[in-house]
Amino acid sequence: MNTYMNMLEWEDDAIPHRLWIERLDNNQTRLCMKVIKDVDPEMLYLELPVSQEKVMGAWQGRAAAVSDAYDDGCLYSQVRSLFNLDNGCVVWTVNHIQLADNRKMSADKLAFVPGMTHDQGLLKSIYATV
């Protein structure tokens, strides 16, 4: 493992986005995503309260749907989970917008959701008892 930056590889070759993690000084990690769309690439950053090792161990090579996809031909929107951590999960809101000139742009977001986990297509509380 690189002590500064490590690529996270997608299982799906059809996903052109680049995903990597960077080490921060306080044993935290910054998740970086370069979203590739027709207009301009979009850079997303998210600081995570865990080490690179924890993130690399949690990454499974794919995103899992948390919400149904909405697609009306001009707007595509869906929430996906990237991975679960001990203290929460990382979600990616995917938004593709078709512009008037038929090019597409993204308006995506990464977020850390504390106290939640992705399980079988749902976000659930880590603290819920069964």
Q: Are strands 109-114 and 88-98 parallel, antiparallel or unpaired?
A: antiparallel
**Structural domains in the chain (count):** 1
Range of the domain at 28: 5-115
- State how far the Cα of 127 lies from the Cα of 9, in Å rounded to an integer: 30
Predicted local distance difference test score (pLDDT) of residue 1: 59
Helix (H) or strand (E) holding 57: helix 52-58
Strand partners, 75: 97
45: exposed, middle or buried (Cβ count in 10 Å: 0-12, 13-18, 19+) = exposed
Examine residue 24 and state whether it is found in any structural domain, yes or no: yes
Locate 89 and state its tokens: 């999960």
pLDDT tens readout for residues 56-104: 999 999 999 999 999 999 999 999 999 999 999 999 999 999 999 988 8
Examine residue 99 and state whether it is found in any structural domain, yes or no: yes
Examine residue 38 and state whether it is found in any structural domain, yes or no: yes
Question: Does this model's pTM top 0.85?
Answer: yes
Q: What does each C-alpha distance from 113 to 64, 82, 86, 110 come to in angstroms? A: 15, 11, 11, 10
Predicted local distance difference test score (pLDDT) of residue 13: 80
